A and B are shown apart, each in its own frame.
Chain A
Amino acid sequence: MMSKPKRLHPIAMLGYMGKRIKSFILPIIAFTFSVTRDSGRPLVYALIVSFVAAIFIFITSFVSWLRYTYKLEHDELRIEEGIFVRKKRYIPYERIQSIDFSEGMLQRLFGLVKVQIETAGGSGADEAEAVLSAISKEEAQLIQEYAATAEGNGTMEVKDVTEGRPIYKISTRQLLILSVTSGGVGVVISAVLALLSQVDDLIPFKKLTSGFEKWIASGLLFIAILVFFGLFLAWVIALIGTMLKYANFKVIKINSDLVITQGLIEKRQITIPLKRIQAIRISENMVRQFLGYATVYVESAGGSSTNQEGSKVTLIPIVKLNQIQSIIEPELDEYLVPDSFTPLPKRAIWRYIFRKWYIAVPIVIVSLIFLKTWGLLSIILLGAMTLWAVLIYKSAGWMLTEQQLALRYGAFIRNTVLMKKNKIQSLEIRESYFQQQRELGTIEAFVKSGAGGAGGKVIDMEKGDIEKIYDWYSRDKEKRDSSEK
């Protein structure tokens, strides 16, 4: 079943133009300024430059569109593109890791979709392996069918979102919590700033006698309020952005794939084969930790190194920590969310604190020498660093079950990584000289994620525990022990 090379919908040209305008706008402005500064008639020159630039952008966008063709062969997708450097890319259907549909404003207007195709290789480029920026929905379905047949499960039917078993659907309440807490530290900062600006009102700047100082004080107050409103505005914008992005978030299972759909204005649909899932990551920022909520990601083998979207997929944007197990259990039954974690030994806390002090203590000493009394303020830094270290120490932990290693680490964002034994690519244990003295060590496990690796790392674990995990992972344990004789 050969097919003719096809072009994208002409609307894709607009996308190309937008991209070029974005990358050329600054150089053009700079160039225009440098040209017009010395001449008598700046406006005329500016117009000429913009006109030439516009024509250049239009022509190159048109040629880009003209040159970009794709072809569905019986076993692979062939894409040819490029103006000066011609690029041909052949992607065998069976190598396709995930297909991602999205509809932006432009695509929706014409009933089109943008298709992003990820393979395990990952080119290291900033985009997916193949991006068909505007094709008809029928074409997109066709590609998915081809890929599905090659995947070997023999299912030819089109993945209809209405069938399949629902796994998770975001509720309005959850969407609200998600959006409000998405700023994480930003929320805390703006809340603190809000409080401070209140305090500023109470603390008696008015009692200051000199008019000049009063002016400075009111100026400072003005700036503080401005900063606060700026942050607040940024937060509100981020909040609306998150809401639009995660509205209608839904996960369903069709055959052996997870299909995730999301978005209000820009719709996205991501398909991940269950067997491609390499690890599960549960992530809680500070605010969510406090409220008992978490986000669940899956590490998948698709995606390129810099395009994280393909490899780290949000499975559940927000959920109560204690509900995760019941949601993922029916589909990903090998994964267990541990109820409790083994904490690090008490003596490790000092190493965590010292590691932060390496940075803080020199700063404190230098500021004490140069700033004299004011340098004492840097003690606050020392305190903050210590607190931070304790936080990291507290969140670290591990839990081993028969087939799964769970590592937990982080500070402001606490990560819990669940890795199955047969998905861990390699395991490394380390001990520095100082760790040896205290019988501590570091463990790091790597899983495949996109083009590179991901995984988990816990520093300063009990040496005996590390050896236990090492033995658990070793497949030739008996031989290792027998060679001892």
Chain B
Amino acid sequence: MVEPQNRLSIKALKVWRISAVIKVVIEWSITSVVVLLLNIFNGPDWISITLIILGVIFTFLHIFLFPTLRWKRWRYEVRAEEIELQEGFFIRSRTLIPMVRVQHVDTVQGPILRKYKLASIIVHTAATAHEIPALEETEAEELRFSISKLARVAEDDV
């Protein structure tokens, strides 16, 4: 099957890495407390060593590997009558949302996204919600506008 056309902003990679760093810092602080406690109470060394090795692997995966894979895979396309999304690197998924089913569109922007002038779009249907993360601010704004316009135009054939 043909892949959808559009990619996310390349800056998404940076944003994802920053939020991964935050996640990893929290992980490490928990790990270090556990290792410290194990040391104080003379726990077996192999637990501490395993924890640290796992920590290093997680750090690598979350900061370096996953964002790249995720970005490479993420595609979207907004056509006159439907929105198509493609995401996920281990479990690949593709989603179709007909315009007539779109109830409303939100743009959301966390602090990190704002710093990089990015924004996410959330498309709501009556039953589901779908996020397109990390688009250029202007692009997100345009997309939100055009989706809600197309959603209004699309004729309900119920």
**Chain A residues within 8 Å of B, Cβ to Cβ:** 120, 275, 301, 422-433, 436, 446-449, 452-455, 467, 470, 473-476, 479-481, 483-484
Contacts of A428 in B (CB 8 A): 93-96
Contacts of B99 in A (CB 8 A): 475
Partner of B125 from the list A425, A430, A480, A484 (CB cut-off 8 Å) is: A425
Contacts of B82 in A (CB 8 A): 474-476
Is B128 at the interface (CB under 8 A from chain A)? yes
Are A425's CB and B90's CB within 8 A?
no
Contacts of B33 in A (CB 8 A): none
Further pairs besides A424-B101, A429-B95: 5, Cβ < 8 Å: A425-B127, A426-B127, A426-B130, A430-B88, A455-B127
Main secondary structure of the interface of A (DSSP, over half): mixed
Q: Return B121 CB to nearest CB of chain A, in Å.
A: 15
- A275 and B157 alpha carbons, distance in the complex (Å): 12
Are B80's CB and A476's CB within 8 A?
yes
Could you name 29 residue pairs across A and B whose Cβ atoms are closer than 8 Å? A422-B100, A422-B156, A422-B158, A424-B101, A425-B127, A426-B95, A426-B97, A426-B98, A426-B101, A426-B130, A427-B95, A427-B96, A428-B93, A428-B95, A430-B91, A430-B92, A430-B94, A431-B91, A433-B91, A448-B126, A452-B127, A453-B127, A470-B94, A470-B96, A473-B98, A474-B84, A474-B96, A475-B82, A483-B5
Contacts of B130 in A (CB 8 A): 426
Partner of B96 from the list A423, A473, A481 (CB cut-off 8 Å) is: A473
- A433 and B90 alpha carbons, distance in the complex (Å): 6
Partner of B93 from the list A429, A467, A480, A484 (CB cut-off 8 Å) is: A429
Is B79 at the interface (CB under 8 A from chain A)? yes
- A479 and B80 alpha carbons, distance in the complex (Å): 9
Are B93's CB and A430's CB within 8 A?
yes
Within 8 A of A (CB), among B103-138: 125-128, 130
Partner of A425 from the list B1, B5, B128 (CB cut-off 8 Å) is: B128
In the complex where A446-B127, A448-B126 touch, is A467 in contact with B1 (Cβ < 8 A)?
yes
Contacts of A433 in B (CB 8 A): 90-91
**Chain B residues within 8 Å of A, Cβ to Cβ:** 1-2, 5, 79-82, 84, 88, 90-101, 125-128, 130, 156-158
- A470 and B84 alpha carbons, distance in the complex (Å): 11
Are A481's CB and B2's CB within 8 A?
yes
Partner of B94 from the list A424, A429, A453, A455 (CB cut-off 8 Å) is: A429
Q: Return A456 CB to nearest CB of chain B, in Å.
A: 12
Contacts of A427 in B (CB 8 A): 95-96
Are B98's CB and A475's CB within 8 A?
yes
Contacts of B94 in A (CB 8 A): 428-430, 470
Q: Return B124 CB to nearest CB of chain A, in Å.
A: 10
Q: Return B57 CB to nearest CB of chain A, in Å.
A: 18
- A51 and B84 alpha carbons, distance in the complex (Å): 64
Contacts of A470 in B (CB 8 A): 1, 94, 96
Partner of B79 from the list A430, A447, A476 (CB cut-off 8 Å) is: A476
Q: Return B71 CB to nearest CB of chain A, in Å.
A: 18
Are B90's CB and A426's CB within 8 A?
no
Contacts of A424 in B (CB 8 A): 101
CB nearest to A432 among chain B residues: B91
CB nearest to A452 among chain B residues: B127
In the complex where A430-B91, A433-B90 touch, is A484 in contact with B2 (Cβ < 8 A)?
yes
Are A120's CB and B126's CB within 8 A?
yes
Contacts of A467 in B (CB 8 A): 1
Q: Return A316 CB to nearest CB of chain B, in Å.
A: 24
